[in-house]
């Protein structure tokens, strides 16, 4: 599946209703983004069950702000509705492919347990 342009109205629906979602925050004027685009597209073709979304930071400034995007391109990954990866800079093709493979193997029960533990620790510190 080729990458899809994601806009704010459908953002939550896409995250909530797909197992693995990758996001590429980019802008038309960004040279590294233009170089990363074809890599992102090639890898997206290899993983038809994964949503590869592209978010234009110029068209969707509120989405970029909600992720605190300060540098583009930035790659963000969600699994089962939980953000599990964010990295500024263009990923090499092999690294992007590896990321998608590792996302598929990621044990979300462990991730949820870790989130719960962190939340409980923060609550104890704030009491």
**Which of the following is catalytic: 15, 20, 30, 72?**
30
Confidence of residue 1 (pLDDT cuts 50, 70, 90): low
- Own/partner pairs for 5-10, CB < 8 Å, 24+ apart? 5/53, 5/54, 5/55, 5/56, 6/53, 6/54, 6/55, 6/60, 6/63, 7/59, 7/60, 8/60, 8/62, 8/63
Has residue 126 got a pLDDT over 80?
no
Q: What is the pLDDT of residues 24-78, one digit of tens each?
A: 999 999 999 999 999 999 999 999 999 999 999 999 999 999 999 999 999 999 9
Has residue 20 got a pLDDT over 70?
yes
Domain holding 76: CATH number?
3.40.30.10
Residue 4 appears among annotated catalytic residues: no
**Which of the following is catalytic: 33, 39, 64, 77?**
33
CB count within 10 Å of CB 56 equals 19
Determine if the pTM surpasses 0.95: no
What is the domain range of residue 30? 4-126
Based on the structure, what is the number of domains in the chain?
Answer: 1
Burial 69-101 (b: 16+ CB within 10 A, else e): beebbbbbbbbbeeebeeeeebbeeeebbebbe
CB count within 10 Å of CB 25 equals 24
Residue 33 appears among annotated catalytic residues: yes
């Amino acid at each position: 599946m080729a990458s899809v342009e994601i806009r704010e109205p459908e953002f939550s629906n896409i995250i909530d209703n797909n197992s693995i979602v990758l996001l590429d925050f980019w802008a038309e004027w960004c040279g590294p983004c233009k170089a990363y685009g074809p890599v992102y597209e090639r890898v997206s073709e290899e993983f038809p069950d994964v949503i590869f979304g592209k978010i234009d930071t110029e068209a969707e400034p509120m989405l970029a702000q909600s992720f605190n995007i300060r540098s583009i391109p930035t790659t963000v990954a969600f699994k089962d509705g939980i953000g599990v990866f964010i990295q500024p800079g263009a990923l090499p093709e092999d690294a992007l492919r590896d990321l998608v493979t590792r996302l598929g193997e990621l044990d979300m029960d462990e991730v949820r347990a870790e989130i719960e533990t962190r939340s409980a620790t923060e609550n104890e510190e704030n009491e």
